[in-house]
């Protein structure tokens, strides 16, 4: 495969992100440019671009003169991320309850429907992408670039934290709870929507074992297969 028809920078970023979220890449593993270039059949320049994006999202740490490594979130960082998410997502649902269009409600409900299909078919990759995508869609619907960018970063970090500390093999940010949140927003019931979102994030965090970092794969090629 030549670089001309090889994966784009964003596709490489997504592949690495999913490998982390699916628990196939462990924290601390080195992401060697030369090896990644061979795996994806692209130039090292494109790999460097992807690593820069992953560093921005908090998924990769680039150490001068050493290289790039999958980030190792601490227990304190994990708790901080969920604390911030509760604050930001409360703001998001409160604003949506004040004014949301029928077309935006349809987009949210269509998204939840896709989540149900992914869960019914047990497609892990789609489950992970759509679960985080729901929260991003809420932020996008508000129409605030700041809130959307903030949520994008928080979701990326949450994916890493969940991959490291989850005490179950299932990724359970489920469509039922998402659907209830959408129904509360549709009813303009801010108090209920805020309560449901808080409960939902409590549920996700309760499935984390914030005591130790799991020993995940060291094999970069196998993890990205």
Residue 1 scores a pLDDT above 50: no
Proportion of the chain above pLDDT 90, given as a percent: 59
Residues 30-85 have pLDDT tens digits of 999 999 999 999 999 999 999 999 998 888 999 998 999 999 888 899 999 999 99
How far apart CA 171 and CA 124 sit, in angstroms, is: 8
How far apart CA 149 and CA 152 sit, in angstroms, is: 5
Give the DSSP H or E segment for 188.
none
Supply angle C-alpha 133, 36, 42, rounded to 5.
90
Residues 6+ apart with CB under 8 A from 207: 166, 167, 168, 172
pLDDT for the residue numbered 177: 95
pLDDT for the residue numbered 100: 95
| Max CA distance (Å), the chain | 55
Q: Which domains does the chain have, with CATH numbers?
A: 3-72+214-223 (1.10.10.10), 75-206 (1.20.120.530)
pLDDT for the residue numbered 5: 66
- Taking CA atoms, 221 is separated from 16, 52, 87, 111, 129, in Å, by 11, 20, 38, 32, 22
pLDDT for the residue numbered 188: 96
19 in Cβ contact with 224 (< 8 Å) = yes
pLDDT for the residue numbered 102: 96
pLDDT for the residue numbered 2: 45
- Its pTM stands at 0.78
**Residue 214 in 3-state DSSP?**
coil
pLDDT for the residue numbered 143: 94
**Residue 191 in 3-state DSSP?**
helix
Average pLDDT over residues 154-164: 84
- Mean pLDDT for the chain overall: 88
pLDDT for the residue numbered 134: 95
183-187 long-range CB contacts below 8 Å, 24 or more apart?
184/93, 184/97, 185/93, 185/96, 185/97, 185/100, 185/105, 185/108, 186/100, 186/105
Average pLDDT over residues 106-117: 96
Residue matched to tokens 């005490």:
167
pLDDT for the residue numbered 135: 96
- Please classify residue 79 by burial: count the beta carbons closer than 10 Å to its beta carbon, then call 0-12 exposed, 13-18 middle and 19+ buried: middle
Average pLDDT over residues 10-29: 85
Residue 225 scores a pLDDT above 70: no
């Amino acid at each position: 495969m030549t670089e001309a028809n090889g994966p784009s920078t964003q596709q490489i970023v997504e592949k690495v992100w999913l490998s982390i979220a699916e628990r196939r890449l462990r924290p601390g593993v080195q992401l060697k440019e030369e090896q990644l270039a061979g795996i994806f059949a692209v130039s090292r320049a494109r790999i460097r671009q992807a690593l820069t994006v992953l560093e921005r999202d908090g998924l990769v740490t680039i150490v001068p003169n050493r290289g790039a490594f999958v980030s190792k979130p601490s227990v304190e960082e994990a708790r901080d991320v969920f604390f911030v998410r509760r604050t930001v997502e409360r703001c998001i649902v409160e604003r949506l309850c004040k004014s949301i269009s029928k077309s935006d409600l349809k987009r949210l409900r269509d998204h939840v429907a896709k989540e149900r299909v992914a869960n019914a078919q047990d497609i892990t990759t789609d489950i992970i992408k759509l679960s985080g995508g729901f929260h991003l869609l809420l932020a996008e619907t508000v129409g605030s670039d700041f809130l959307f960018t903030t949520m994008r970063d928080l979701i990326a970090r949450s994916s890493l934290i969940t991959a490291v500390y989850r005490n179950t093999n299932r990724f359970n940010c489920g469509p039922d709870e998402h659907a209830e949140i959408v129904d509360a927003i549709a009813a303009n019931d801010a108090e209920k929507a805020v309560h449901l979102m808080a409960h939902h994030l409590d549920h996700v965090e309760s499935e984390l074992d914030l005591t130790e970092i799991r020993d995940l794969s060291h094999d970069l090629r196998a993890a990205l297969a």
